Amino acid sequence: MKIEQFIAQSEGEWQSMRSGHSLAFRQFEQVISLITIKRIESNHPDVISLLNSNNKLKGELSTPFRINWKSESDWNDDDLSNNGEGSCILVPLKNTSREGHILRNKGYSENSQVVSSYKFLEDGTFVMLTDYINSIAEEKIWFISDNVRCRSSVVRTSKGSGILQTSFASEVRKIECT
């Protein structure tokens, strides 16, 4: 699997069911989201800006893309304004065909610009590692059919091996019926 192929396969609208597990409290969270993934031009101002702020990072520019999401969590029943809606731009820089870095103008766990490293396992699973200020996130994404992908994540404390949360999402491509 190459990053371009992975992004091409990920493009589209996805209906996501995500379960979060807070291990310390043995609490479940359930989130329903609509996620849109779309390639953007390499000369988009936000792409240029991300590249300029990380100009020490080597690698060949690959397909930049945007992720939009709109979520409803069962933890936020009384305060719908807390339900998530957002957008971020991701810019992959390849080192080899199987690994590299991804620049992002917003992280999931912490709301700042982030640099992640990524690689592909032999079975095509995409693995992304992100050092945030207060946490480390490892995300895995793998396709179980052309139109269904799975996404697992582990969030650890950055100063030790404490595991804060795991999560798992099943994402089904939304296909328009004509």
Name which position in 1, 127, 132, 164 contacts a copy of itself (CB under 8 A).
127
Q: Which is nearer to a copy of itself, 40 or 127 (CB)?
A: 127
Name which position in 43, 52, 55, 161 contacts a copy of itself (CB under 8 A).
161
Please state the three-class secondary structure of the chain as a single string.
CCHHHHHHHHCEEEEEEEEEEECCCCEEEEEEEEEEEEECCCCCHHHHHHHHHCCCCCCEECCCEEEEEEEEEHHHCCCHHHCCEEEEEEEEEECCCCEEEEEECCCCCCCCCEEEEEEECCCCCEEEEEECCCEEEEEEEEEEECCEEEEEEEEEECCCCCEEEEEEEEEEECCCCC
Pattern 80-119, a copy of itself, x by CB under 8 A: ----------------------------------------
Name which position in 56, 145, 159, 176 contacts a copy of itself (CB under 8 A).
145
Burial 140-161 (b: 16+ CB within 10 A, else e): ebbbeeeeebebebbbeeeeee
Pattern 2-41, a copy of itself, x by CB under 8 A: -------------x-x-x-x-x--x-x-x-x---------
Number of residues binding to a copy of itself, judged by CB under 8 A? 27
Work out whether 78 is an interface residue with a copy of itself (CB under 8 A).
Answer: no
Work out whether 129 is an interface residue with a copy of itself (CB under 8 A).
Answer: no
Work out whether 159 is an interface residue with a copy of itself (CB under 8 A).
Answer: no
Work out whether 154 is an interface residue with a copy of itself (CB under 8 A).
Answer: yes
Contact status, residue 38 vs residue 19, Cβ threshold 8 Å: no
Cβ 129 to a copy of itself shortest distance, Å? 12
Work out whether 125 is an interface residue with a copy of itself (CB under 8 A).
Answer: yes
